[in-house]
Amino acid sequence: MSKRDDARKLKPAAQQLLQRQVVNAVRAGMKQVHAAQVFSASLRAVNKWVALDKLGGLRALKAKRRGRRTGEGALNDKQAERIYQLILGKMPDQLKLPFYLWTRAAVAQLIEREFAITVSLSTVGRYLKAWGLSAQRPVSSSSACAERGADPMPVELSGSSIRFGQNPLLMDFHTSSAFRISAPV
């Protein structure tokens, strides 16, 4: 493996083989520093692998499933459905949140208030994406609508029987500009 290669980008089976080779070399008397150079691994990784080997043998180096399990998240399915319905059914100020538009921060605050669970803004963004809520540029003003021939009146969300008395807006996931909620079809 060349210096440009990164063991983290290897497939799990290849990573496990590399770990076993490094540990076996250290067991055979090679110094950890030299093993790191020979196998193009970081010294920190070699130290970690050797420590795992001392604790549990080569079985401790066995590749484990990465990431969260399917369905495992900050919110369970029932909680996620509740937040989704609140977002589609009401504006933040109707829920006594200090926001006029739906933003990731507003959704995070709603989740914290409803379920006492703190989630990051990026997690909220992933939930919004999973729920099929997409960002669309809002109408900036009635005159701008008239110029483009667009209807400045609120629209019914597709796939939903909910009608809003005002334009439902959602903050862009990455910037501070506002967006209209578009429900899944």
SS (H, E, C) the chain: CCCCCCHHHCCHHHHHHHHHHHHHHHHCCCCHHHHHHHCCCCHHHHHHHHHHHHHHHHHHHCCCCCCCCCCCCCCCHHHHHHHHHHHHHCCHHHHCCCCCCECHHHHHHHHHHHHCCCCCHHHHHHHHHHCCCEEECCCCCHHHHHHHCCCCCCCCCCCCCCCCCCCCEEECCCCCCEEEEECCC
Same domain assignment for residues 137 and 109: yes
* 66 part of a folded domain: no
Same domain assignment for residues 119 and 170: yes
Provide the residue-wise pLDDT of the chain in tens; the chain has 185 residues: 545 567 778 888 888 889 899 999 999 999 999 999 998 888 999 999 999 888 888 888 887 777 666 655 678 889 989 999 999 888 899 999 998 888 889 999 999 999 988 888 888 888 888 888 866 555 555 555 556 555 444 433 444 333 333 334 443 333 344 445 555 55
Predicted TM-score of the model (pTM)? 0.45
Supply the range of the domain harboring residue 108.
77-182
* 72 part of a folded domain: no
